[in-house]
Structure 1
């Protein structure tokens, strides 16, 4: 894959069930309030460490608020060597309405 693919929550959920990593690029307060269960929070401060430690060939799903910023982040991750990157269409907001039981708060994880 030389570029990321946009996928709906249903495809993202299927990939999660197969072990895909989910990263959330929303602001820390939004992530702390609620996020996709098991998602890792990424920001400008943590992304370099994440990239160094990551399996570049593992499927990676990028989530933001509505699916716009995640496209830029997904393209960036492809440029950093990731080979299987997806942008979550509709972002966390669509995920939350599609899979309300597949969300967590920091206190719950």
Structure 2
């Protein structure tokens, strides 16, 4: 894969069932207020650590607010050598509306 692919919620769920990594690039406060279950927060501060510690062959789904910023972040990961990177269409907003049972509760 030379570029990322945009995927819908159903495709993301199927990939997650196979162990795909989910990263959320929203701001820390939004992430703490709720995110896709088992997602990791990815920011400029921890990007290098994520990249150096990641299995480049394992698929990654990138999530943002509405599905726009995740596209450039997904392309950045492709440029860093990741094999399979996906951008979640509709972002967390659409995910939360359709899969509330797969969202974390706000962190205390």
TM-score by length of 1: 0.96
Alignment of 1:30-45 (within 5 A): 30-45=30-45
Q: Which runs of 5+ in 1 are unaligned?
A: none
Deviation at 1:105, TM superposition (A): 3.2
User: In 1, are the aligned partners of 2:5 and 2:86 still within 8 Å (CA)?
Assistant: yes
User: Aligned pairs, how many?
Assistant: 108
Mapped pair 1:92 → 2:92: yes
Q: Which runs of 5+ in 2 are unaligned?
A: none
**1:68 paired residue number:** 68
Which whole-Å deviations, capped at 9, do the CAs of 1:54-73 have from their partners, x for residues lacking one? 00010100000000000000
3-state SS of the aligned residue for 1:86? strand
CA-atom RMSD, angstroms? 1.1
Query: Structure 1 runs of 4+ off > 2 angstroms?
Result: 105-108
